[in-house]
């Protein structure tokens, strides 16, 4: 056997080695920025240097042919520099204004829409789904592709009151994170347990400890140690499934999709907000999830028509009130929208302020 190579524990690479020279030169010395058109940012340094950034969308799960095509464009227009954003858009930078229009054309000709800046609907942040996750209730790349096809114009224009960040998550762990709109799996039935496998696969005390409502207890089935779930207590969160795959939570029919709104990370204007449940029980309808797209478009339409400039989704709803939001979106309001988890009382209306 050949000797194994010891890793070089080199840590995080230095960013400056990859930056366009104009960024290195003006590092920490930028003066202002604006957006000459949707999809393009202009940053001007104290030195007077200017850099144009063209932002484009692509499929995050990228094949090498896609990556090389983007590299060809970066070689031609950006001296071989390229960067990606936190939410998986791609950015091409140049200090030559004359290259901006040809760069935009090259990107759009290659099929990469230019946009995602300012008050647009940005690329949807997504997770792994059926392509690669070990616990997914739905797909990720497919949901995002289906939604972005419908939101294509909203990505390429800046017609929203403020930026709209949409996320998807294939289970309730919610790796996609908080969003102005979040599209997440919501299981509706307790796990189905394969008692033959539990004792061989699962560390039972650890599984019991994972349950947020203490619904799991040890049991003996056919003489074998296993686990059982108090189905009345179970909140179908799926927390037991990752540490114990024989407790199958995913269900082709009963794993539904829920839509949440008004999440916000920034502390800009209002403090950060969690997203709030507005629709559930939508079918996990691969390959294009039309029922989900319909709800998302309805919410976006109401926000676009009614919110004031700079109001994020959550801020708009807090101003107009939830009764008006449900009226404008024509979504049903049910007992399941009322928060009964620990701390949920802070989500009740403790005032005489009412909407009619």
Partner 1 sequence: MSKKMPETPLLDQLESGPWPSFVTGLKRLATAEDKPYADMMKSLLGQLEHSYETRKGYWKGGTVGVFGYGAGVIPRFSEVADRYGESAEFHTIRIMPAPGFFYDTKTLRQFCDIWEEHGSGLIALHGQSGDVMFQGCRTDQVQVAWDKINEMGFDMGGAGAGVRTSASCLGPARCEQSCFDTLRAHKVVIDSCTDDIHRPSLPYKMKFKFSGCANDCANATQRADIAVFGTWRDDMQVNQDEVKKKVTELGRKEFINQVIRMCPAQALALNDDDTLDVDNKSCVRCMHCINVCTKALKPGRDRGIALLAGGKRTLKIGDMMGTVIVPFMKMETDEDYEALVDFGRRLLDFFADNALEHERLGEMIERIGLVNFLEGMELDLDLNMITRPRTNPYVRTDEWDEEVRKWNDRKAGAAE
**38 with 117: CB under 8 angstroms?**
yes
Q: 20 vs 325, which CB is nearer to partner 1?
A: 20
Q: Compute how many residues bind partner 1; rule: CB under 8 A.
A: 112
Smallest gap from Cβ 284 to partner 1, in A, equals 6
- Identify residues 269-328 at the interface with partner 1 (CB under 8 A): 269-270, 272, 274, 284, 286-288, 308-310
- Identify residues 168-187 at the interface with partner 1 (CB under 8 A): 172-178
Q: 127 vs 226, which CB is nearer to partner 1?
A: 127
List the x/- string, 49-88, binding to partner 1 by CB under 8 A: --x-x---xxxxxxxxxxxx-xx--xx----xxxxxxx-x
Distances (CA, A) of 21 to 52, 98, 169, 200, 210: 13, 18, 38, 57, 50
Smallest gap from Cβ 278 to partner 1, in A, equals 16
- Identify residues 31-50 at the interface with partner 1 (CB under 8 A): 31-34, 43
Cα separation, 132 vs 12, in Å, equals 25
**Could you tell me the two tokens for 174?**
């919610």
List the x/- string, 149-168, binding to partner 1 by CB under 8 A: x--x----------------
102 binds partner 1 (CB under 8 A): no
Smallest gap from Cβ 115 to partner 1, in A, equals 11
Strands (E), 222-356: 224-229, 247-248, 255-261, 276-282
Burial of 262 (0-12, 13-18, 19+ CB in 10 A): buried
30 binds partner 1 (CB under 8 A): yes
| Interface pick for partner 1 out of 48, 109, 252, 351 (rule CB under 8 A) | 252
Count of all residues that appear for the chain in the document: 356
**Could you tell me the two tokens for 270?**
């209002």
- Identify residues 225-244 at the interface with partner 1 (CB under 8 A): 237, 239
Smallest gap from Cβ 220 to partner 1, in A, equals 26
Stretch that binds partner 1, among 7-15, 94-102, 317-325, 327-335 (CB under 8 A): 7-15
Q: 60 vs 204, which CB is nearer to partner 1?
A: 60
Q: Which long-range contacts (CB under 8 A, 24 or more apart) does 83-90 make?
A: 83/18, 85/55, 85/116, 87/122, 87/123, 87/124, 87/125, 87/165, 88/58, 88/60, 88/123, 88/125, 88/126, 89/55, 89/56, 89/57, 89/58, 89/116, 89/122, 89/123, 90/55, 90/56, 90/57, 90/58
338 binds partner 1 (CB under 8 A): no
Short-list 250, 258, 249, CA closest to 210:
249
- Identify residues 133-152 at the interface with partner 1 (CB under 8 A): 133-139, 141-142, 145-146, 148-149, 152
Smallest gap from Cβ 11 to partner 1, in A, equals 4
Q: 178 vs 329, which CB is nearer to partner 1?
A: 178
Cα separation, 298 vs 172, in Å, equals 23
| Interface pick for partner 1 out of 188, 266, 340, 349 (rule CB under 8 A) | 266
**226 with 217: CB under 8 angstroms?**
no
Residue 27 CB neighbour total at 10 angstroms: 12
Q: 59 vs 199, which CB is nearer to partner 1?
A: 59
């Amino acid at each position: 056997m050949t000797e194994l190579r010891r890793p070089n524990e080199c840590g995080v690479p230095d960013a400056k080695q990859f930056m366009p020279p104009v960024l290195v030169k003006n590092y920490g010395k930028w003066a202002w920025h604006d957006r000459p058109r949707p999809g393009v940012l202009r940053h001007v340094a104290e030195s007077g240097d200017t850099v144009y950034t063209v932002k484009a969308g692509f499929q995050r799960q990228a094949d090498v042919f896609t990556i090389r095509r983007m590299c060809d464009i970066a070689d031609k227009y950006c001296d071989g520099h390229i960067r990606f954003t936190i939410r998986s858009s791609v950015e091409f930078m140049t200090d030559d204004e004359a290259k901006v229009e040809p760069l935009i054309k090259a990107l759009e000709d290659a099929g990469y829409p230019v946009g995602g800046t300012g008050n647009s609907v940005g690329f949807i942040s997504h997770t792994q789904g059926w392509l690669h996750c070990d616990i997914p209730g739905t797909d990720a790349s497919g949901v995002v592709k289906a939604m972005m096809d419908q939101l294509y114009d909203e990505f390429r224009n800046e017609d929203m009151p403020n930026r709209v960040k949409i996320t998807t998550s294939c289970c309730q762990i919610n790796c996609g994170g908080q969003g102005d709109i979040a599209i997440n799996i919501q299981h509706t039935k307790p796990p189905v347990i394969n008692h033959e496998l539990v004792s061989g696969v699962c560390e039972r005390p650890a599984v019991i400890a994972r349950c947020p409502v203490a619904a799991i207890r040890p049991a003996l089935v056919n003489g074998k140690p296993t686990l059982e779930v108090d189905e009345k207590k179970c909140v179908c969160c799926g927390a037991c499934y990752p540490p114990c795959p024989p407790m199958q939570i995913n269900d082709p029919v009963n794993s539904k999709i829920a839509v949440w709104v008004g999440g916000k990370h920034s502390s800009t204007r209002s403090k950060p907000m969690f997203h709030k449940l507005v629709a559930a029980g939508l079918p996990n309808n691969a390959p294009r999830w039309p029922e989900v797209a319909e709800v998302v478009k309805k919410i976006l339409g109401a926000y676009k028509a009614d919110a004031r400039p700079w109001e994020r989704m959550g801020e708009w709803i807090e101003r107009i009130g939830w009764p008006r939001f449900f009226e404008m979106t024509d979504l049903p309001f049910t007992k399941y929208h009322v928060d009964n988890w620990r701390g949920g009382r802070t989500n009740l209306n403790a005032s005489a302020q009412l909407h009619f």
